[in-house]
């Protein structure tokens, strides 16, 4: 275990961040991360894309700390990571058949789904417009932590606009003591981000960002899938394909996965 260098620009944190090597301090690391989440603090964790910074999604203050640490506003809500696909129905008002087939084929993995959130869901992730972005990461350490903490709001562990971190050292250099606990799992496979599919505006889904999973693979799961980044030409259309309003959601998503929104 080590502490983050105290010589950093953030002097508001009362306690220096702790860093644990998951390969040699696994149990201690997991326990410390769970305590941090329970206390409303931030945790940096490895995923199957890049390092993510996570917070309790049921705590508005914790989510705000995550956004503040990344220097981003509430107009860029983070996605939610879960441990198992079976948890998805509790977070989504409805899961269309195409989305279910994608989940069965690609989760755990680099696929983020945007779905309508139930009105009863007590998460304040920002200006999400009643939607939620969800992913199951293909990383054993991340999923183990998620089994203990429940869902986490997770965004890429970087300052907005800077390159996503594929090592814990890079994440620490950017986020420093705004994070309570860093979990070092070694270099991640990044920087390729998760693919993001939005099922809130089109029944067959729309690809907002192409990442590790390509259009052709996803099309096998949902024949009505649309790729708004590469729209099919419409000979009857009187205007150029692609409305700026249609792509606004994509601009809120980042790699950690996706989140990401951005996941990872």
The answer as to whether 192 is a domain residue is yes
Q: What is the greatest pairwise CA distance in the chain?
A: 63
Domain that holds residue 94: 16-229
The arithmetic mean of pLDDT across residues 110-134, rounded, is 97
| Alpha carbon distance 227, 120 (integer Å) | 31
Does position 245 have pLDDT exceeding 70, yes or no? no
Q: What is the pLDDT of residue 246?
A: 36
The answer as to whether 158 is a domain residue is yes
Q: How confident is the model at residue 258 (pLDDT cuts 50, 70, 90)?
A: very low
Q: How confident is the model at residue 6 (pLDDT cuts 50, 70, 90)?
A: very low
| Alpha carbon distance 190, 240 (integer Å) | 34
**Mean per-residue pLDDT of the chain:** 88
DSSP-based helix, strand, coil % in the chain, nearest 5: 30, 20, 55
The answer as to whether 235 is a domain residue is no
| Alpha carbon distance 48, 108 (integer Å) | 9
The answer as to whether 11 is a domain residue is no
Does position 257 have pLDDT exceeding 80, yes or no? no
Provide the residue count of the chain. 264
The answer as to whether 159 is a domain residue is yes
The answer as to whether 24 is a domain residue is yes
| Alpha carbon distance 80, 262 (integer Å) | 9
Q: Tens digits of per-residue pLDDT, 178-220?
A: 999 999 999 999 888 899 999 999 999 999 999 999 999 999 9
**pLDDT over 70 for what percent of the chain?**
83
- Domain count within the chain: 1
197 touches 98 (CB < 8 A): no
pTM: 0.84
CATH code (residue 91): 3.90.870.10
DSSP per position, 116-154: EPPTT-----SS-TTEEEEE--S-HHHHHHHHHH--EEE
The answer as to whether 27 is a domain residue is yes
Q: What is the pLDDT of residue 14?
A: 53
Does position 9 have pLDDT exceeding 50, yes or no? no
The answer as to whether 261 is a domain residue is no
Q: What is the pLDDT of residue 191?
A: 87
């Amino acid at each position: 275990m080590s502490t983050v260098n105290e010589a950093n620009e953030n002097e508001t944190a009362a306690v220096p961040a702790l860093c644990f090597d998951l390969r040699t301090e696994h149990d201690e690391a997991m326990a410390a991360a769970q305590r941090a989440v329970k206390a409303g603090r931030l945790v940096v964790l490895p995923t199957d894309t890049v390092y993510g910074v996570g917070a309790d999604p049921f705590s508005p203050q914790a989510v705000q700390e995550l956004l503040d640490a990344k220097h981003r506003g509430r107009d860029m809500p983070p996605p939610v990571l879960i441990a198992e696909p079976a948890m998805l129905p509790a977070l989504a008002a409805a899961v269309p058949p195409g989305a279910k087939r994608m989940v069965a084929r690609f989760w755990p993995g680099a696929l983020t789904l945007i779905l309508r959130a139930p009105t009863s869901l007590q998460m304040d992730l920002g200006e999400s417009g009643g939607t939620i972005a969800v992913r199951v990461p293909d990383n054993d350490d991340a999923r183990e932590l998620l089994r203990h903490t429940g869902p986490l709001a997770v965004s890429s562990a970087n300052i907005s606009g800077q390159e996503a971190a594929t090592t814990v050292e890079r994440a620490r250099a950017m986020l420093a003591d705004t994070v309570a606990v860093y979990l070092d799992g070694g270099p991640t496979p990044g920087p390729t981000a998760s693919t993001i599919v939005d099922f809130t505006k089109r029944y067959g889904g729309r690809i907002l960002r192409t990442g590790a999973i390509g259009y052709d693979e996803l099309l096998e799961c949902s024949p009505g899938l649309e790729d708004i980044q590469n729209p099919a030409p419409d000979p009857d259309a009187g205007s150029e394909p692609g409305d700026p309003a249609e792509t606004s959601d994509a601009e809120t998503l980042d790699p950690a996965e996706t989140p990401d929104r951005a996941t990872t």
